[in-house]
Each structure stands twice: as structure tokens, then as C-alpha cells.
A = this chain, B = another copy of it.
Amino acid sequence: MLEGKFDEASLLKKVIDAMKDSVKLCNFNCTENGISVQAIDDSRVLLISLLIEAGSFEDYRCDRNIVLGLEMESLNKIIKNGNASDMLTLVAEDSPDALNLIFEDKRRDRIAEYSLKLMDIDQDFLKIEDMKFDAVVNMPSAEFAKICRDMKTLSESLQIIITKDSVKFNSEGDFGSGSVVIKSFTDLEKTEESVRITLEKPINLTFGAKYLNDIIKSTPLASQVTIKLCDKQPALFEYQLPSGYLRFYLAPKFEDEE
């Protein structure tokens, strides 16, 4: 049996918001350590890895491993009904045919209870190898989101060039081009505004703007995003949860398709 209680429904709300535009159906794997998802987006380009550790919950127990096959759009409908500040409890039997979601108003006697039918989703469990990266950028997630949105107006590709102490986002379009350069920056009072660049080798990679646009749906989850890159390898975009993460792996475009 799974029973996980979030102090605030908003955490799961943001997670689903971040994933629902990339993937329609996916398996949520529940174990004693928490809930995890590995999925490939519907266009088969973006790899998504979610981990909500038990520590993200107010209370959490899961006696046996359970796989919950969820339709993201239906789940989203239900989650939107709950108030963001409601307590949210997820409940599933050991061999469930439904996931129960219980929203409780903290102030008074109002309980909303939903049951979502589960799907049998044929989806291999993806093993994601630990990778080594040549460059790591930590920056404000909202700033990264704005850069991606801005550059997308110019071109379908976004080039990321990292040198010793700066990151350049570059976009070459038909009617013009644009670039944004940000430098390492430490704000001791507002650490969430800082930019940190850790570099072993310079990086020059190009990504599909469309997929970055999906990735930045995660912005409300965390004030910072961590971008890890390595030449000719998928880049990792990571948003930290209070206890866990939401990660996206995106392969760069190769020269002949840029």
C-alpha cells in the first residue's frame, strides 16, 4: 500500500505542470524511498527523470513496489481542482486499479476526494547511466526560461557556448540573430540569483529550441536550474525539489542538422 501525504498540493501540481506537455502517459514507480518516473517524451527526443524522495512528503509509506500508470491530462485536471495550499494525500492499494487523491483544506472541514483510473502502460524502465560532464552551469531558472523564450522567437535552434567565466546563448534566425551572455556572479544575499560556472573543457553545443521550451515549464519548481554539458553528449537540465529532482536529458543537434 502507498500512502503519501504532501503538506502542500502545490509541489505535485508544479511537477505535473512541468511534465504534462512532454509526455501523455507514464508510469510512476513507487517504492519505500519515494516516487520516480523515467520517461521519453512523445517526440522521443527528451528523456525525463523525476524523483520525489520520501523526504518531500509530510508522511510517506510504501510497503511494496507499485507501478502507477497515469494519464497526465486526467491527473492534471484533478490536481488543478485542489487548492495549492491544500494537504494532498496519494493512496493506492498494492495491486491498484486506481489512484486516490485526497485534498484537505487546512482551515476547515472541506475534503475533496478523487479516484483516477490507472492505465497499463508498456514502458521499459530506463536505466540512466551516470555521465561525466565538462561544464556545469548553475543559474536562476527564471532567467534561463526567459533566454530560451526570447531566443526561440529568432530561431528553432539555440547554441550554448561556455568559456571560462561566461555562458553565451546564441540564436541565428532568418530575419536576425541574437545572443545573451551571462557571467559568473555571486550574490551573497540572494543566492538564488547567483550564476556559477564550473568548466573543464569549453563547450559549444546547439539544442532544439522546441525542447528547451518544454524543459522550462519546470521553472516554478526551483529558483535555480543546473545545466550539465559535455561535447556530443546529451545535456542534463536539472531542477531540484525539496527532496528529489526533475531532470531532462536532451541530445544536442549535430552539425549536419543545425
Contacts and interface: CB of A to CB of B under 8 A. Distances in A.
Contacts of A74: 175-176
A114 interface: yes
B179 A109 contact: no
Contacts of A153: 77-78, 80-81
Nearest to A146: B81
A178 interface: yes
Contacts of A81: 146, 150, 153, 178
Contacts of A154: 77-78, 114
A183 interface: yes
Interface string A166-183: 000000000111111111
A179 B113 contact: yes
Interface in A59-96: 71, 74, 77-78, 80-81
Nearest to A172: B115
Given A114-B178, A117-B176, A109 B183 contact: yes
Interface in A83-133: 98, 108-117
A114 B185 contact: no
Interface size class of A (residues with CB under 8 A): 20 to 34
A212 B150 CA distance: 31
A22 to B, nearest CB: 20
Contact of A109 (B112, B114, B178, B182): B182
A108 B185 contact: yes
B185 A112 contact: no
Interface in A113-163: 113-117, 143, 146, 150, 153-154
Given A153-B81, A154-B77, A113 B176 contact: no
Contact of A112 (B78, B110, B150): B150
Contacts of A175: 71, 74, 116-117
Given A175-B71, A177-B115, A178-B115, A109 B77 contact: no
